[in-house]
Chains A and B, each alone.
Chain A
Amino acid sequence: MRTQPFLKYWFDLFLILLVISLVNISAAQAGPREQAKRIHERLAGVPPSESVLTNMQSQVENGNAVNAAMLAMDNADFYNVTLKNFITPWTNEAETIFAPLNDYTATLIGMIRDDRDFREILSADVLYVGAASLGLPAYSNNNNTHYQALEDQRINLKDNLVAATQSAVTGLPAAATAGITTSRAAAQAFFIDGTNRAMFRFTFKNQLCTDLEPLKDITRSPDRIRQDVSRSPGGDSRIYLNNCIGCHAGMDPMTQAFAYYDFAHDVDADPDGNNGNLSYNNVGAVDPDTGSRVKKKYHINASNFKFGFISTDDRWDNYWRTGANANLGWSSSLSGSGEGAKSLGQELANSEAFASCQVKKVFKEICLRSAVDANDRAQLTAMVNSFKTNNYNLKQVFAETAVYCMGD
């Protein structure tokens, strides 16, 4: 049966209850029970059961609101829904929230569940897969079927994600693994075609909370800007000297870390790479087009400026440690240089901007708004500090944020 004939009644009712709800929310003084309910709804995305609500209420009443939040995060929907939708837009270039579950998303969900140091997301040899007992299609380097099945079958990710390593599952050399950077989903999104600069840009967007535009610093040395960057676009070098150089001077020497990576796929038959795989030039490999381990894509369009930099290895340098972008807060315990994606991931993840970004993202997700005043900013600062002292445990940030925004 269908109840469409009653829709008009339903609409009336909806509007009435909407008004009532808004009036109540704004007028009512939130007590421990109301605060506990909001914490649960914000974290798990679903209403609590009576018993959980009562338990959480008790925790709040006893001044243990963070513990109440931890109870809410025991709900499977915190992982299956809240975290999945929190992470999914980071995994694709279109930043769509509707992208399917994939190894990038699942790995972060698993790392949060297991209280892993969140800095490892850009450097660790880590991968989370569905438990073998589920009988799902096995992880494949060439498709997303495994994770699609996890999602389609609404598998409880909290209970059924299993920690593994990329090196064991995908065969990528352990030294070449770099957290979600070397996940299949990230590779499909950001190593596909192009010049691998997308991986750099979207890592900054998603994990340091800044696009490249605000980072433009035209005073950095352009000595690592590749040949494919025109120094006079359309015959006007002012564009290069005032704009292009601002990003490329810092970006290109860091993106060199990805010089051995590509996403292999059939450009004609599979332009989106749904059946493609991460490709890595291991020690001893010689790319026929570059004569080194460097992928061909690093040498394309060389005649755009033949006196530009020619990549011969995956040495990266962070030119943004000086100049205006020193404000990103780079770790003084790291050198600012290295080889490959793993050490670059450590460089990025140990910055103040990384820690701050994670806290800001959680704040926006749970408080449903950005920080707007001094109180909010002080809370962000406090939570960044707490994040660091709690071994970069993101669940702690979720809990503290939910408590801050539980209402009063």
Chain B
Amino acid sequence: MKVYGRYLSPFKLLSINKLLSIRKPLPIRKLLALFILGVLAGCSGGGAEVVPLPDVSTGTGSVPNYTGPPPASEDVQRFKLNVWDNLVADNRCGGCHIQGGQAPEFVRFDDINLAYAAANTIVNLNNPIESRMVQKVLEGHNCWLSSDQACADIIQGHISDWAGGALGGEANLVQLFPPVIREPGASKNFPLSSAGFAGSIYPILTTYCAQCHRETAVTPQSPHFASEDVEVAYLAAQSKIDLDVPANSRLVLRLRNEFHQCWDDCQANSNELETAITTLANGIALTELDPQLLPSKALTLFDGILANSGGRHETNVIAKWEFKAGQGSTAFDTSGINPAMDLTLNGDVSWVGGWGIQIKDGKAQASTSTSKKLHNLISGSGEFTLEAWVVPGNVTQEGPARIVSYSGGTDTRNFTLGQTLYNYDFLNRSSTTDVNGDPALSTDNAAQRLQPVLQHVALTYSPTTGRKIYVNGEFTGDLDTVEGGTLSDWDDSFAFVLGNEVSSDRLWQGILRMVAVHNRVLSDEQIVDNFKASVGEKFFLLFSVSDLINVTDAYVVFEASQFDSFSYLFNQPFFISLDPDAQVDGIDISGIRLGSNGRELAVGQAYKNVNKTVNDAEYNTVGGQSLSSLGTVINLEKGPENDEFFLTFEKIGQNTHRVVEPPPPPPPVAVDEPASSDVGLKTFEKIHATLSSITGVSMAQTDVNNTYQNVKQALPTVSDIETFVSAQQMAITQLSIEYCNALVNDPNLRQNFFPDFNFNGSVNDAFVMGDRRLITTPLYNKTMNSNVATQASIAEVELELNNLIDRLTSCNTNNSCAADRTETVVKATCAAAIGNAGMLIQ
């Protein structure tokens, strides 16, 4: 296999002895402004004469027969196979850069060795992306596609393939060189006084946001920028306000783009807030960077050195999409393998910053004719690898939702990568499956391999190993229950599609940042390497600190990239001097903070606790010295072309800046709440214990305990008296009856409770008026205590209990009374007395 451009960590890179002799190329985006000049220089060998652009679109794609001398070396042969053969056609570079045509004549077809010599003047095999040939096309020079980026990627791939052999498969090196030197700019900062805020934004926030974003809200949501205390609100709102670009304020975007709790029309509401923020911002003068700070020099992302040096195994890649275009409705196949399977974006599909597409409600689909490339190249090899960097939008979609599919409809396919909740699904049609690729191979439910984060997924298939799924470089361990078969039944009329089924009825929502198809199985190690190579455009940002420590070409270097559409990733800083003779031992570096657009960032300061001393033991001139192994994500503000970054330090060298945290905002002033009831309900177990306490029946008594267990969860569980419902009343009744039943049935207990009552008397005898108090008085005293004015009086209770007894002792021909009626009446009276509100309310 060939490995080209393997990415190295900063501590394995650099060819320092070349550094000082290398001139910094102009940033890529800046070069776009020099488009015309670049074209002229390239086409005329550096002359200034204006010539018309050649029109490569008129080429027919014909390839000349090569009749010249044979390649003089193996490297010339590799050049021919990887570069010359791919670019010699007259609708590529062969339209101009041939013998007698425009210099350099790197695709001349009279002598491959001379073409090789010409090509060597415009390639950088150590870092193919820095090749003049690539940069020239990227500047807009005669790309045969509608995307300069796509053409540049394809040529870079050809050069990388050549380099992979030319360099003996060794990894490419990323060379650091001095960046532009720029002072950090000025910005607007929040004044100490909240007066401006109180007169502009605060009234809107308190009017429309106070139901949630206030400490005293029913369900308070932070930040409390609608606090009744304006000082609290002011401090809370600052991180949500962009004084430099009010439209970028989180307060505005939350309404405008995310439709968060708009009080009327979201656009109008966001405009209202933006106007208020603008009013505040207009009253604040630009402030220069705090002179007390110890800042580095400043850089934009594109001032950095491209850190993507390949590192991926792509020898057998036959289709690849990196989604670099960033605009338009086509995602280009930059594999360089014809025909290009360019994808047409349909529906709600948008480009994602830092390379990628986001599918919300649409798909990206290739034509059936170009998709046939997969059929032709895979059915021949009989095996393949599908590789993708994905960010599933959620873990609720299923179907399976189609992430990547080469299919004819919902029930016919060649292969599919799908999502079912937390699982990846792999369907592949072979001689041992049905036409839908079923039964599917899915990742284990319990493992929850699929997460809504950036993940590298690789599917491999071969007749010998069947289907295998890898997530983030790791084989999931899910074994294919279907034996491998041949792919001879693949249908060449199907189309390749991302984010949906070709029939548009199996939507997958999420982000795709790279997709590649190989017509060979990648090994476990190769998949790990491709995972480690990561995805997206990465840069080394060299923040100059020379003037802070008096060391030549001294830098704190971050690997930085656009992380998604809303943020950057800054990663693994290290210190280095590009002067190999620099003396760096003993330099203290602590309290590193990231700054952007003239101010230190409020969020994402993952290096403020760094405390390192550069020392000869850890430092080397190739990789410098690591300052942290961490990465951090920070807000994207004005965009990657305009956001200007810098660093500050609490200590660097002999310079110290003591950072003092501002005091915390004062706690919010407490506000009165509506008065609530002074009394409440006894809850379930208190009722249980109270009834036990009143009757003397043990809570563990079998019948009582059984009833309690049955009704426990129907008894009150909270003391709030307003929550009382009839179901609780019923439960209390049941439990009271059970207690009284146990009390009266137990001779000793009832004797103690009703010592003078004649339980053996008939109903008519036992409940004569004078004797009723033998029942009611003990019940009253035990339940409510005597002489407690806040309870019902004994007279009131007796009146009601007497009425009850009257009803229950009415024995006549229509209402016969059994022999145990006396006990029954006592039990009922007891239940009424102990289960009443006097017991329940506390």
Instruction: Decide if B78 is an interface residue (CB 8 Å cutoff).
Output: no
Pair A236/B679 contact, Cβ less than 8 Å = no
Pair B837/A377 contact, Cβ less than 8 Å = no
Pair B563/A232 contact, Cβ less than 8 Å = yes
* Chain A residues positioned under 8 Å from B455 (CB to CB): 303
* Chain A residues positioned under 8 Å from B285 (CB to CB): none
Smallest Cβ-Cβ distance to B673: which chain A residue: A372
Assuming the contacts A46-B686, A369-B676, asked whether A98 and B567 have C-beta atoms less than 8 A apart, the reply is no
30 CB-based A-B contacts, threshold 8 Å: A3-B828, A10-B831, A17-B800, A17-B838, A37-B790, A42-B842, A46-B689, A47-B782, A77-B686, A85-B683, A152-B700, A153-B700, A219-B603, A222-B604, A223-B607, A230-B453, A231-B569, A232-B564, A235-B510, A238-B250, A241-B567, A241-B633, A241-B635, A303-B455, A305-B631, A323-B664, A369-B677, A372-B672, A377-B670, A407-B790
Q: Which of B700-715 contact A (CB under 8 A)?
A: 700, 712-713
Q: Which of A222-243 contact B (CB under 8 A)?
A: 222-223, 230-238, 240-242
Q: Closest CB-CB distance, A357 to chain B, in whole Å? A: 15
Contact with B along A145-164 (1 / 0, CB 8 A): 00000001110000000000
* Chain B residues positioned under 8 Å from A301 (CB to CB): 451
Pair A231/B563 contact, Cβ less than 8 Å = yes
Q: Which of A1-42 contact B (CB under 8 A)?
A: 1-4, 6-7, 9-11, 13-14, 16-18, 20-22, 24-25, 28-31, 33-34, 37-38, 41-42
Pair B800/A13 contact, Cβ less than 8 Å = yes
Pair A28/B790 contact, Cβ less than 8 Å = yes
Pair A216/B841 contact, Cβ less than 8 Å = no
Taking beta carbons and an 8 Å cutoff, which residues of B are in contact with A?
Answer: 215, 220-223, 235, 239, 250, 352, 358, 391-394, 451-455, 471-473, 510-511, 563-567, 569, 571-572, 602-609, 628-635, 661, 663-665, 667, 670, 672-680, 682-683, 685-686, 688-690, 692-694, 698-700, 712-713, 717, 719-720, 729, 733, 737, 740-741, 781-793, 796-797, 800-801, 804, 807-808, 820, 823-824, 827-828, 831-832, 835-842
Measured in the bound complex, the distance between the Cα atoms of B791 and A31 in whole Å is 12
Q: Closest CB-CB distance, B454 to chain A, in whole Å? A: 7
Closest 3 CB pairs of A and B: A307-B631, A368-B680, A45-B686
Pair B800/A16 contact, Cβ less than 8 Å = yes
Q: Closest CB-CB distance, B236 to chain A, in whole Å? A: 8
Instruction: Decide if A326 is an interface residue (CB 8 Å cutoff).
Output: yes
Majority DSSP secondary structure for residues of A touching B: helix
Pair A214/B358 contact, Cβ less than 8 Å = no
Pair B808/A97 contact, Cβ less than 8 Å = no
Measured in the bound complex, the distance between the Cα atoms of B350 and A235 in whole Å is 13
Contact with B along A302-322 (1 / 0, CB 8 A): 011111111000000000001
* Chain B residues positioned under 8 Å from A47 (CB to CB): 690, 693-694, 782-785, 839
Measured in the bound complex, the distance between the Cα atoms of B689 and A46 in whole Å is 6
Smallest Cβ-Cβ distance to B394: which chain A residue: A234
A2 contacts which of B672, B677, B737 (Cβ < 8 Å)? B737
* Chain A residues positioned under 8 Å from B694 (CB to CB): 47
* Chain A residues positioned under 8 Å from B838 (CB to CB): 17, 21
Measured in the bound complex, the distance between the Cα atoms of B472 and A200 in whole Å is 30
Instruction: Decide if A374 is an interface residue (CB 8 Å cutoff).
Output: yes
Pair A221/B608 contact, Cβ less than 8 Å = yes
* Chain A residues positioned under 8 Å from B630 (CB to CB): 223, 307-309
Smallest Cβ-Cβ distance to B608: which chain A residue: A221
A17 contacts which of B688, B741, B797 (Cβ < 8 Å)? B797
* Chain B residues positioned under 8 Å from A324 (CB to CB): 235, 664-665
Measured in the bound complex, the distance between the Cα atoms of B787 and A222 in whole Å is 64
Assuming the contacts A218-B603, A235-B511, asked whether A14 and B835 have C-beta atoms less than 8 A apart, the reply is yes
* Chain B residues positioned under 8 Å from A219 (CB to CB): 239, 602-603
Pair A10/B832 contact, Cβ less than 8 Å = yes
Q: 8 new A-B pairs (CB below 8 Å) besides A18-B841, A232-B453?
A: A1-B820, A14-B837, A47-B782, A213-B220, A241-B634, A306-B631, A368-B842, A372-B676
Pair B784/A14 contact, Cβ less than 8 Å = no
Most-contacted residue by chain A among B215, B603, B840, B841 (CB, 10 A): B603
Smallest Cβ-Cβ distance to B570: which chain A residue: A307
Pair A25/B603 contact, Cβ less than 8 Å = no
* Chain A residues positioned under 8 Å from B719 (CB to CB): 368
Q: Closest CB-CB distance, A339 to chain B, in whole Å? A: 17
Measured in the bound complex, the distance between the Cα atoms of B678 and A28 in whole Å is 13
* Chain A residues positioned under 8 Å from B837 (CB to CB): 14, 17-18, 20-22
Q: Closest CB-CB distance, B529 to chain A, in whole Å? A: 15
Q: Closest CB-CB distance, B105 to chain A, in whole Å? A: 46
Q: Interface residue count for A (Cβ, 8 Å)? A: 93
Measured in the bound complex, the distance between the Cα atoms of B215 and A214 in whole Å is 8
Instruction: Decide if A53 is an interface residue (CB 8 Å cutoff).
Output: yes
Q: Closest CB-CB distance, A266 to chain B, in whole Å? A: 14
Q: Closest CB-CB distance, A136 to chain B, in whole Å? A: 14
Smallest Cβ-Cβ distance to A152: which chain B residue: B700
* Chain A residues positioned under 8 Å from B635 (CB to CB): 241
Pair A29/B789 contact, Cβ less than 8 Å = yes
Q: Which of A30-68 contact B (CB under 8 A)?
A: 30-31, 33-34, 37-38, 41-42, 45-48, 50, 53
Instruction: Decide if A81 is an interface residue (CB 8 Å cutoff).
Output: yes
* Chain A residues positioned under 8 Å from B566 (CB to CB): 236-238, 241
B391 contacts which of A33, A37, A216, A235 (Cβ < 8 Å)? A235
Smallest Cβ-Cβ distance to B666: which chain A residue: A327
* Chain B residues positioned under 8 Å from A170 (CB to CB): none
Measured in the bound complex, the distance between the Cα atoms of B737 and A1 in whole Å is 10
Smallest Cβ-Cβ distance to B512: which chain A residue: A235
Smallest Cβ-Cβ distance to A329: which chain B residue: B667
Q: Closest CB-CB distance, B478 to chain A, in whole Å? A: 17
Assuming the contacts A21-B791, A21-B841, A323-B664, asked whether A407 and B678 have C-beta atoms less than 8 A apart, the reply is yes
Pair B676/A45 contact, Cβ less than 8 Å = no
Assuming the contacts A21-B838, A324-B664, asked whether A7 and B733 have C-beta atoms less than 8 A apart, the reply is yes
Q: Closest CB-CB distance, B247 to chain A, in whole Å? A: 15
* Chain A residues positioned under 8 Å from B358 (CB to CB): 235
Q: Closest CB-CB distance, B834 to chain A, in whole Å? A: 10
Pair A307/B571 contact, Cβ less than 8 Å = yes
Measured in the bound complex, the distance between the Cα atoms of B238 and A218 in whole Å is 12
Measured in the bound complex, the distance between the Cα atoms of B676 and A392 in whole Å is 29
Q: Which of A275-318 contact B (CB under 8 A)?
A: 301, 303-310
Q: Closest CB-CB distance, B221 to chain A, in whole Å? A: 7
* Chain B residues positioned under 8 Å from A3 (CB to CB): 737, 740-741, 824, 827-828, 831
Instruction: Decide if A189 is an interface residue (CB 8 Å cutoff).
Output: no
Q: Which of A364-399 contact B (CB under 8 A)?
A: 368-370, 372-374, 377
Q: Closest CB-CB distance, A369 to chain B, in whole Å? A: 4
Assuming the contacts A9-B808, A17-B800, A48-B785, asked whether A218 and B391 have C-beta atoms less than 8 A apart, the reply is no
Pair A41/B700 contact, Cβ less than 8 Å = no
Q: Closest CB-CB distance, B751 to chain A, in whole Å? A: 18
